[in-house]
Amino acid sequence: MHVNDASTDVLRTRVSGDVLTASDAGYESARRVWNAMIDRRPAAIVRPRNAADVAVAVTFARERRLPLAVRGGAHSVAGMGTCDGGIVIDFSSMKAITVDPETRTARAEPGVKWVDFDNATQAHGLATTGGTVGDTGIAGLTLGGGFGWLEGAYGMTVDNLLAADVVLAGGDQVRASADENSDLFWALRGGGGNFGVVTAFEYRLHPVGPMIAGGMVVHPYSAARDVLRFYRTLLEGAPDPLTAAAAIMTGPDGQKACAIVCAYAGPLEEGLRAVEPLKTFGSPVLDAIGPIPYLGQQALLEQAMPPGVHNYWKAEFLDRPTDGFIDTWVDAYSRVVSPMSFLLLFPIHGAAARQPVDATAFPNRGGIHLGIYALWKPGEAEAPNVSWVRETWTRIQPFASGGLYVNEIGGDDGQDRVRQAYGPNYARLAAIKAKYDPENLFRLNANVEPAAV
């Protein structure tokens, strides 16, 4: 259905927050998302102040059969946090955080980004597993699973979610936890934005830092094969608190390189001993591993992934980086187009891997998440960057294990890839979807189609 000025005026009178349409001064900046490749024009952007505003926006979209997108930190590379011609609920106006150091819990609104969350919790020496780039939203990351530096010690972000306040498709406001609407709570922990709009998240926190052992070590690209074989051995023997990622990228000097980034979520002295092999292996061009504030660790990758550039990504899972995979992976980077692009391996291990596949909706309890990330500046050609990602992805298919991280599904990935991401949990998710959102109002996401009942 079409939205006209009169109907958006109705929306303005019913919500206490802002409503922006194309005629408003702030509309152009409000419609932008992190990935500058996404260029969409919603009919109205609602910035709610509270759950009641969210219920109004949900009801408005449902009654008029409008597309409805929900946006936390706007980091969905596929652009799922926006739409053309519909309603966007943009949580940038809801950013409250409360930390209770006694119970080691935090309650946060969905506009909060990890940098805000980490600052608030580290003020009490606490943290939970969160994104590795501070600008990422807690909302989308949490609902898809959430890997990060603390996962080996404390599990995925979803494993630390205690409860959520949710506005359902019918406009009702409910709470989901282990004791209340437990089916919904299960689905929210990995099922993405399919089941409702979350207006508050409650997390379990852990003592972390303020100083930890972490940082990165960078080797020349010519040593990449040896570095990745060393990395494979490191992962096989890594204690739970040691989480390490491997990247092939281009350094600020324009040289291709292979880096291992790591963090130890435990006592500093113990961590320094655990990261020692990373410092003694090979002939690094940069060794920046040592004591680092947890907040510094969380800022380490910020510059590698700035907002406002074009992004095209593809992801997959790997059981183990075999020699054949390593050869293919390293060779693929020799054909990279943009120096901003990189290849990443990030394991799901330790506490994150010990949960049963059906403990939450997030099914990838082990293996290595693999990301092929093309980033290029506005004005540079899109086609060769997209081709590099697609070709690399095709070349690594013989090594893929079948898993896929739902939060890195591409905008052009089809329904078969969505099912791949939810894996064996898809059928249960589809049944819960039929109960909570039978009309599939919440479909601008890695969509679970309601099961036929």
Look at residues 61, 141, 54, 130 and name the one whose alpha carbon lies nearest to residue 90: 54
Q: Which of 305, 351, 400, 448 binds ligand FAD (CB under 6 A)?
A: 305
Binding mask 379-408 for ligand FAD (x = CB under 6 A): ----------------------------xx
Closest CA to 308 of 127, 6, 22, 39: 39
Smaller CB separation from ligand FAD, 148 or 347: 148
Q: Rounded distance, CA 106 to CA 279, Å?
A: 36
Whose tokens are 């109907």? That residue is 7
CB of 371 to ligand FAD, least distance (A): 9
Taking a C-beta distance cutoff of 8 angstroms, is the pair 84, 59 a contact?
Answer: no
Q: Which residue is nearest to ligand FAD (CB)?
A: 140
Rounded least distance, CB 379 to ligand FAD, Å: 21
Task: Please report how the helices 323-334 and 224-237 are oriented relative to each other, as an axis angle in degrees rounded to 10.
Answer: 140
Binding segment toward ligand FAD, per CB under 6 A, in 22-30, 141-149, 206-214, 380-388: 141-149
Check residue 70 for interaction with ligand FAD (CB under 6 A). yes
Among 77, 126, 257, 340, binds ligand FAD (CB under 6 A): 77
Among 72, 190, 214, 450, binds ligand FAD (CB under 6 A): 72
How many residues make up the chain in this entry?
453
Between strands 87-90 and 68-71, the pairing is parallel
Nearer to ligand FAD, 305 or 330 (CB): 305
User: Minimum Å distance from CB 200 to ligand FAD?
Assistant: 9
Residue type, 339: P
Q: What is the four-CA torsion angle of 213, 214, 219, 224, rounded to 10 degrees?
A: 110
Contact status: 80 vs ligand FAD (CB under 6 A):
yes
Strand order through the sheet with 18-20: 18-20, 44-47, 87-90, 68-71
Neighbouring C-beta atoms of residue 257, cutoff 10 Å: 24
Cβ atoms 408, 371 nearer than 8 A: yes
Candidates 243, 222, 220; CA nearest to 231 is 243
d(C-alpha 39, C-alpha 83), whole Å: 9
The stretch among 44-52, 130-138, 277-285, 378-386 that binds ligand FAD (CB under 6 A) is 130-138
* 21, 105, 121, 132: which one binds ligand FAD (CB under 6 A): 132
Question: Considering beta carbons, is residue 289 or 444 the nearer one to ligand FAD?
Answer: 444
Using CB under 6 A as the binding criterion, the count of chain residues that bind ligand FAD stands at 36
**Which region, judged by CB under 6 A, interacts with ligand FAD, from 136-144, 205-213, 318-326, 333-341?**
136-144
Eight-state DSSP code of residue 113: B
> Shortest approach of ligand FAD to residue 405 CB, angstroms?
7
The 3-state DSSP class for residue 68 equals: strand
User: Interface with ligand FAD includes 155 (CB under 6 A)?
Assistant: no
Binding mask of the shown chain, residues 264 to 283, with x at each position contacting ligand FAD by CB under 6 A:
--------------------
371 binds ligand FAD (CB under 6 A): no
What is d(CA 372, CA 395) in angstroms, rounded to the nearest whole number?
12
- Asked whether position 17 contacts ligand FAD by CB under 6 A, the answer is no
User: Are 62 and 169 contacting, i.e. CB atoms less than 8 angstroms apart?
Assistant: yes
Please report how close the Cβ of residue 227 comes to ligand FAD at its closest, in angstroms.
21
Provide the binding-site residues for ligand FAD, judged by CB under 6 A: 34, 70-77, 80-81, 91, 110, 131-133, 136-137, 139-141, 143-148, 192-193, 197-198, 305, 407-408, 444-445
